[in-house]
Amino acid sequence: MDIKADFEGVLAEIKELVAQKPSDLHLQVCQILKAKIYHYDWVGFYLLKDGLLQLGDYVGKPTDHTQIAIGKGVCGQVAEKKATIIVQDVSQEDNYIACSLDVQSEIVVPVLKNGDFVAELDIDSHSPAPFTPNDQDFLEEVCELLAPTF
């Protein structure tokens, strides 16, 4: 399987969707990512509101983590640093906030609007160490496409 080709096809689909401006754009992006990329088991957005990360649209098992403080957990660190973080083994991460016992790895990508952190895309995987630089490049491009919609 050529994962890079998958990313290109999914990116084209998301570009088309962004151009259509549906009211549930963020939810549809979550659905596409989870359905099309085999190792994306939970896909969701956290939005910066009132100094906290607030859970937005997501696809996957429900989570108790509807609010996360800046700096807390991987999501909070991404908000603080405004940079992507990949954790290939969550059991080795001191600051990890466990969402599910099934989660083995996580990637969190910031959404920056005019250089300011406004949201982030959080993806959990039930596979050990599945995330590559290709995932990071792809997801950063997705977040760049979506930035004006936040």
- CATH number of the domain within which 103 lies: 3.30.450.40
E strands, 2-51, are 42-49
Q: Report residue 8 CA to chain centroid gap.
A: 17
pTM: 0.92
Q: What is the pLDDT of residue 90?
A: 74
Number of domains the chain contains: 1
Residue with the bigger pLDDT between 124 and 100: it is 124
User: How far is 140 from 59, CA to CA, in rounded Å?
Assistant: 19
- Overall average pLDDT of the 47-66 stretch: 95
For the chain, the distance separating the N- and C-terminal CA atoms, rounded to the nearest angstrom, is 33
Which of the four pLDDT bands, split at 50, 70 and 90, describes residue 92?
Answer: confident
Q: Which domain holds residue 83?
A: 3-149
Mean pLDDT computed over 99-114: 88
Q: How confident is the model at residue 98 (pLDDT cuts 50, 70, 90)?
A: low
Q: How many angstroms separate the CA atoms of 25 and 4, rounded? A: 23
